[in-house]
Structure 1
Amino acid sequence: MRLTDAAAIAGIGSTAFGKHLDGAEKDLACQAIVAALDDAGLDPGEVDGMCSYTMEETDEVEIAKNIGAGEIAFFSRIGYGGGGGCATIAQLAMAVATGRCTVGVAWRSRKRGSGLRPWAAAEGQPSTGAQWTRPFGLLRPADEIAMLARRYLHTYGATRDHLANVALACRRHANANPGAMMFERTLTREQYHAARWVSEPLGLYDCCLETDGALACVVVSGERAADLPQRPVYVHSASQGLPRQHHGMTNYWGPDPLRGPGYACARPLWRAAEFTPADVSVAQIYDAFTPLVPFSLEAYGFCGPGEGASFTEDGGIELGGRLPVNTSGGGLSEAYVHGFNLIVEGVRQLRGTATTQVADARTCLVTSGECVPTSALLLRN
């Protein structure tokens, strides 16, 4: 049995994004899920499948009760935070395609804009991976990615101006998106370079936002989606990736630390697809930090190793460029909800309803977090 186009995203929903939003994470999750079901024209009582993240603070029992779901026949959770988003859709697509459920909901809810930092609260013995990094000063995700970014700049002759291209592209797209936290809040190259360091070579605008908010998607069979109100967005291919001997959040010990989980994820993704990177209309690439975009452009085959930085030049990842990326603003300028907003924006692009719309968009790549065990989707309309 092939997954190809057997399931489709039929509904999307989200709350507002911001800091210090009212309500608990459970409240936000329920709001987003009910909005997605309403978008799909489905009753909550039809929901019989659920998938979210292991790091999600809301559990299936509470969500099912509070939205009024029916009997749940399938539920699962995906690990590794930012690496898990696309896999939630993939799991539901497989469950629908194999008859395990008929109406699945995937979601992510966070109140990080209210001050919650999961690494800041950690006490006691570090995890297996972190015990080799935290004692030496790599305390935050920004510190770990900064090490890889420095290696990338040194190895390939890239500069912080290339990272600025990513930040500026995301900000320009967010400036046109009324739902983005950075709507109408412009950013100049001069402001980018003048900003304070977070973890050198990463400055303030190389790092994602801190956001409260929630998003959700509804997954049904491709056949059923064709009869629902919204234009179906088919799950064409999906994969996860965990390289051999991967270590912790990032792997500094492999033969090439810059060949991260995206490479392991890309191979099965394209192997199961009926089109190639050259056929992708638009991409939503996980951008908790600016270097992750060139890393992923290379991993998923849009350019060769070390060429991701130059790919961003001359508006290459902006509307009208070689490959428009993160057209809602992404984690850098729309909202940071562990990448789930990238999936929702991919759906909007293929429906033709995005605020920065790619003309005649037919296919979309969505990626989850590079450097951690990850996942990806190829969507088509």
Structure 2
Amino acid sequence: MSTQGHGLRDRTAVAGVGWTPYSKNSGVSTLELALRAVSAALSDAGLDLRAVDGLVTHSVGDSVPAAAVAASLGVRDPKLLLDLNGGGSMSSGAVGAAAAAVAAGQAETVVVWRSLNARSEFRMGGTGRAAPTLVEFQYQVPYGLLTPPQQYALVGRAYLDRSGATAEDLGRVAITQRAHASLNERALMRTPLTMDQYLGSKWIAEPLRLYDCCLETDAAVALVVTSAERARDLAKPPVLIASAATGGGHSFFSNGYTDLSTSAARAMAPRLFGAAGLGPQDVSVAELYDAFTPLVLMQLEDYGFCKPGEAAGLVASGATALGGELPVNTHGGHLSEGYVHGLNHAVEAVLQLRGQAGARQVQDADVALVTGQPGYVSGVTSALILRRDS
């Protein structure tokens, strides 16, 4: 496929991936987690530390900065050093930034990572930390709107009301992904989940039950991004970055977006697919950001896999399960594998496109969609299209 005139299309590749164990208490710092994941990714690519000349990470004030990781790796004069502000919303954006730098010749070997002790140390929305430095937060605190489950409960209710989806439809998302996680040795939650267990679980913030919510996790994951040509000479089959895109979104629900039932991904998706020269019909496997179950249903619609209101039926049909026409979150996702703020979705997509996902391998997987948080609260979203090298 020609890349001329198409920006990033297929000019760069993911050459290596790495991760630490997923746990509830890592027992080490976010710096140590980052170094372990980065080292694993470089080893996977067949590279040593001396190859790294660029570093990109994203965080929400909960992790070690890129400069500290660079110094610890011995990168004295990094050609690229980026600390992006954003949790899952910038996970795909971080990979896109690395790809853009490599394509522009700014750096040759860029490591992208996310490292966090989100269970043992820095709980998202936890009361043991300072309030976010956001102007709008002062208007939420008096009403008790403090945590992501509360914020996304508003989104989930809006979606259910608009689409007609039910609690059982949300449950099918969680149950399907748990079945995928049962085949994934990295996953924190591998015991099969039944509908009775789902419906009987405690409320977190209605309409969200316990199993509608992601797992706060201690872990780090990393990817090595380099040119497509160079990646072909390395240890593992390259996974090409066909496109990367960022978009806007609802910013704490008061920046002009009035319909919470539709995400910013809907506006971004045509740009993402257009840049790759592909469409939703070309996607073999979708790793959709799933901090909460309603987001999976919403993204199936917003990325064009089905019409508005039809996502629940798509999941109920078995289409999103392994063996279905569009397997979704084949590793178990944030709901059952672990929550590494979106970047673990990219790792799973790479393994699928390499044909190295073991028992959960999607047959003939050649194109993967990887999405970040679809634009709620943060006011930004991002996504990637990756494809197998031909």
What corresponds to 1:272 in structure 2?
A: 275
Question: 1:213-234: CA deviations, max 9, x gaps?
Answer: 1000000000000111100000
Distance 1:252 1:164 in 2: 31
**Pair 1:127-2:127 in alignment:** no
Distance 1:129 1:12 in 2: 38
User: Structure 2 counterpart of 1:170, which letter?
Assistant: Q
- The more displaced of 67-76 and 363-372 is 67-76
| Structure 2 CA distance for partners of 1:70 and 1:235, relative to 1, 3 Å | farther
Contact conserved, 1:208 with 1:333, CA < 8 A, in 2? yes
What corresponds to 2:35 in structure 1?
A: 30
| Structure 2 CA distance for partners of 1:319 and 1:202, relative to 1, 3 Å | same
What corresponds to 2:329 in structure 1?
A: 326
**Pair 1:379-2:383 in alignment:** no
Question: 1:239-271: CA deviations, max 9, x gaps?
Answer: 00114xx422x4596342222221232131012
Which of 46, 54, 57 is the matching residue for 2:63? Answer: 57
What corresponds to 2:340 in structure 1?
A: 337
Contact conserved, 2:66 with 2:83, CA < 8 A, in 1? no
Distance 1:7 1:276 in 2: 20
Contact conserved, 1:104 with 1:218, CA < 8 A, in 2? yes
Contact conserved, 1:46 with 1:70, CA < 8 A, in 2? no
Question: 1:292-335: CA deviations, max 9, x gaps?
Answer: 10111111111122222222112221011231001011100001
Question: 1:29-86: CA deviations, max 9, x gaps?
Answer: 0000011001111111111111111425211222112223352001112222110100
**Pair 1:41-2:46 in alignment:** yes
Which of 233, 239, 250 is the matching residue for 1:227? Answer: 233
**Pair 1:241-2:256 in alignment:** no
Contact conserved, 2:65 with 2:83, CA < 8 A, in 1? no
**Pair 1:309-2:312 in alignment:** yes
Please report how far the alpha carbon of residue 337 of structure 1 lies from its aligned counterpart in structure 2 after TM superposition: 0.9
Distance 2:341 2:246 in 1: 16
Normalised TM-score (structure 1) = 0.95
- The more displaced of 215-224 and 251-260 is 251-260
What corresponds to 1:365 in structure 2?
A: 369
Contact conserved, 1:285 with 1:325, CA < 8 A, in 2? yes
Contact conserved, 2:153 with 2:205, CA < 8 A, in 1? yes
Which of 8, 11, 14 is the matching residue for 1:6? Answer: 11
What corresponds to 2:85 in structure 1?
A: 79
**Pair 1:210-2:213 in alignment:** no
Contact conserved, 1:80 with 1:374, CA < 8 A, in 2? no
| Structure 2 CA distance for partners of 1:32 and 1:41, relative to 1, 3 Å | same
Which of 4, 19, 23 is the matching residue for 1:18? Answer: 23
User: Structure 1 counterpart of 2:298, which letter?
Assistant: F
Note the residue ranges of structure 1 that are not aligned, 5 or more in a row. none
Distance 1:59 1:49 in 2: 13
**Number of residue-to-residue matches in the alignment:** 377
User: Which aligned pairs between 1:88-237 and structure 2 lie closer than 5 A?
Assistant: 88-120=94-126, 121-123=128-130, 127-183=134-190, 185-237=191-243
Distance 2:279 2:340 in 1: 28
Distance 2:75 2:219 in 1: 22
Distance 1:37 1:51 in 2: 14
Contact conserved, 2:175 with 2:195, CA < 8 A, in 1? yes
RMSD of equivalent CA atoms: 1.6
Task: Find the residue that maps to 1:114 and give its secondary structure.
Answer: coil
Distance 2:255 2:164 in 1: 19
Report percent identity of matched pairs: 43
Question: 1:105-130: CA deviations, max 9, x gaps?
Answer: 00001111215224224446862232
Task: Find the residue that maps to 1:293 and give its secondary structure.
Answer: helix
